[in-house]
Amino acid sequence: MSVDSRRKVAKASGKIKRQSKSLAASRDSRSSPKVVEKRVRYAAVVPSPAPMFTAGDIAGLHLTRDPLALQSNVALVMDQNTSEVLFEKNSNVALPIASLTKLMTALVVVEARQDLEEMLEVTHDDIDREKNSGSRLRIGAQLTRANMLHIALMSSENRAASALGRHYPGGLPAFVSAMNAKAKALGMHTSRFVDSTGLSSGNVASANDLAKLVFAAYQHSIIRTYSTDPKYAVDTGAHLVHYVNSNRLVMDDDWDIGLQKTGYISEAGRCLVMQARIENRPVVMIFLDSKGKYSRIADAARIRKWLESGIRQPLMTQVNAKQS
């Protein structure tokens, strides 16, 4: 056999072997089951957070039922002119009051006759280390005392309230002492204040006490104006910061509100105090430990509707609460 013939035979033999291997592989793929690897992802098991009980819940106030089915564990409505109690629900129980504290902060600042045009600076001492809440006022921001008071009342700005307390003669300890002294002078016998912001649950008062605070604060036009201003912008030295009122009722033309303050921390629930004119009658309303973001506003609407329907007799509801 010639050399060329042997080369042709070898080439053909190699081709046949390759075809045989291809056919064998094809048969194996048809006869053998196809193995597919799947990766299974398991969702992490996250335990549900434990329900947060307010101080009012712990005291058993949530067991109280009232004729208007309010969502607030505590409520008090008084005629501002006569001090007659029109509606009452657990009004004698002292509870955490959150940022309602700032109403006392404002009262102390105003009655101390401090210079409202003095520039106050936000420092690291004003950072919230109690609840770790944020703030739109940066460290180093400089505002007049008037502007600090304005945004503390209308928008519950915590760093502003903290700065107001720090810039009192003697610093924050002296300011807190002045707050408690004013509470005592007003006859707020169940009240106690530990800071100027209300971030601590140690700031406590009953609805009866808070009504006295509202009556006193209402005497100052600057507190009435600042607390009910719908919007306001402050110059921090670097840029303008725009604020809106934390109580949307002040923007409702159907309401005639002369003074207000909102508050919230987990221990206190949603809180609200207001002075408003209803049926040409000035009334003071206090709502503490309300459940739900809008429930205190809804409770105010229920009270208003009830007052507009004509009062036949005051509504009183109390429970024997466990004081902590």
Known catalytic residues?
99, 102, 156
Q: How many CA atoms lie within 13 A of 180 on its CB side?
A: 13
Within 10 angstroms of residue 38's Cβ, the number of other Cβ atoms is 4
With both helix axes pointing from N to C terminus, report the angle between 145-154 and 221-228 in degrees, rounded to the nearest 10. Answer: 60
β-sheet bridge partners, residue 143: 120
Contact residues for 129 (Cβ-Cβ < 8 A; gap 6+): none
Q: Is 41 helix (H, G, I), strand (E, B) or coil?
A: coil
φ, ψ dihedrals at 192, nearest 5°: -150, 135
Tell me the one-letter amino acid at 291. Answer: K
Question: CA 4 to CA 57: how far, in whole Å?
Answer: 103
Tabulate helix, strand, coil % of the chain (nearest 5): 40, 20, 40
Q: What angle do CA 241, 243, 247 make, to 5 degrees?
A: 170
Query: Do the Cβ atoms of 285 and 274 come closer than 8 Å?
Result: yes
Question: CA 258 to CA 283: how far, in whole Å?
Answer: 10
Question: CA 222 to CA 110: how far, in whole Å?
Answer: 8
Strands 142-144 and 240-244, by their bridges, are unpaired
Q: Is 95 helix (H, G, I), strand (E, B) or coil?
A: strand
Query: Do the Cβ atoms of 138 and 101 come closer than 8 Å?
Result: no
**Under the phi-then-psi rule, with left for phi > 0, alpha for psi from -120 to 50, and beta for the rest, what region is 90?**
left
